[in-house]
């Protein structure tokens, strides 16, 4: 099955029903860790969770400094006029 993910890239992901995942959970986790291919678990035909390989966070980046590329507008404002605002 093909799923749209990330920034519009299309990838072929393996899917499995929740009942089968329950029976084969440990084997599926081992396979995901080995192949690095995610698996989507479905329930009644709808995607519920995605099993992805665990990756360690980089120890060099301990803060979010430099992670904001651009700021737009006031993140705390609603741009609405209040009755208490004076002209």
Q: What is the mean pLDDT of each run of 10 residues along the chain (87 residues)?
A: 47 85 94 94 94 79 72 74 67
Q: What DSSP string describes the chain? A: -EEEETTTEEEE-EEEEHHHHHHHHHHHHHHHHHH---EEEEETTEEEEEE----PPPTT--S-TT------S-TT---PPPTT---
Question: Which CATH number goes with the domain that contains 44?
Answer: 3.40.1620
| Contact between residue 29 and residue 51 where contact means Cβ atoms under 8 Å apart | yes
| Domain of residue 39, residue span | 15-54
Q: Tell whether pTM > 0.85.
A: no
Report yes or no on 27 lying in a domain: yes
Report yes or no on 22 lying in a domain: yes
Report yes or no on 47 lying in a domain: yes
Number of folded domains in the chain? 1
Say what the pLDDT of residue 69 is: 76
């Amino acid at each position: 099955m093909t799923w749209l993910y990330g920034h519009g890239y299309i990838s072929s992901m393996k899917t499995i029903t929740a009942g089968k995942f329950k029976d084969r959970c440990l084997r599926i986790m081992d396979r995901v860790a080995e192949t690095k291919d995610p698996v989507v678990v479905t329930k009644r035909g709808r995607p519920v969770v995605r099993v992805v390989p665990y990756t360690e966070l980089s120890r060099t980046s301990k803060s979010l400094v430099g992670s904001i590329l651009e700021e737009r507008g006031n993140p705390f404002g609603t741009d609405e006029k209040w009755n208490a605002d004076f002209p």
